[in-house]
Amino acid sequence: MSYVKNAENASVVLEIIQAIHVNARYLSEIDGATGDGDHGINMNKGFMLAKERIETGMSLAEAFKILGRTLAMDIGGSMGPIYGTLFSEFSRAMQKEEKITMQILLAALENAVEKLMNLAGAKLGDKTLIDAIYPGKEAYKKVADNNGSFNEALRALAEGAEAGKENTKNLTAKIGRAARLGERSRGFLDAGAASCCIILKTMADAMQKRMIDD
Ligand SMILES: [Mg+2]
């Protein structure tokens, strides 16, 4: 069975942090088209704060826990609690596991999507990060349900999130600051979907690199 070790894999989370850091300007540019342009700055602030608190010898679950807690406690606006919830759910699903298997990550994704939808009050198609993570999770689940490999499921997660993020250009914002633009929000990417896509793609890539087959 294929798995990613939980122990001493905090570097997966450090790669996610680095990806947000290098894309901070890009994310603020996207946010600036329909919002106040602070998404990349806020995200970078929270993720860099978490980086100081994470040690490379920590487990994957411990590093996700620190990232989630830091975002929830130390970052304002709506994104702190939302991403705080995402990473805390990942940590919760993994903390008792020695091996992170395809099914463990499926449970993590499903719990996280459900919690995020409740917290944000967002449905699919509202032009939020749900439009990246939901199709990513569905694509991943399809591979898992059809006895595909963990590697294939992670690739599907990345591709599903990317397609979903791109599709936010075709959507009208229903909640958040961009909703005030109504139809004029169409034609632009959603910044939350863009950051969520970066997170999921980086996580999928980092986990594929650390995949153990036995
Ligand atoms: Mg903003």
pLDDT tens-digit series, residues 34-76: 888 999 999 999 999 999 999 999 999 999 999 999 999 988 7
Residue 181 CA to ligand 1 center (angstroms) comes to 14
Q: How many domains are contained in the chain?
A: 1
CB 140 within 8 A of CB 203: no
Q: What is the dihedral of CA 3, 5, 59, 63, to 10 degrees?
A: -40
pLDDT of residue 198: 98
Residue 56 CA to ligand 1 center (angstroms) comes to 31
Which tokens is 196 given?
């969520």
Residue 149 CA to ligand 1 center (angstroms) comes to 38
Question: Which of the residue ranges 2-11, 123-132, 177-186, 205-214 would you say has the lowest mean pLDDT?
Answer: 177-186
Residue 105 CA to ligand 1 center (angstroms) comes to 30
Q: Residue 158 pLDDT more than 80? A: yes
Q: Which residues pair with 2 in a beta bridge?
A: 213
Residue 39 CA to ligand 1 center (angstroms) comes to 5
Residue 174 CA to ligand 1 center (angstroms) comes to 15
The CATH number that applies at residue 194 is 1.25.40.340
Domain with 105 in it:
2-213
Which residues are within 5 Å of ligand 1 (an ion), measured at CB? 31, 35-36, 38-39
Q: Residue 8 pLDDT more than 80? A: yes
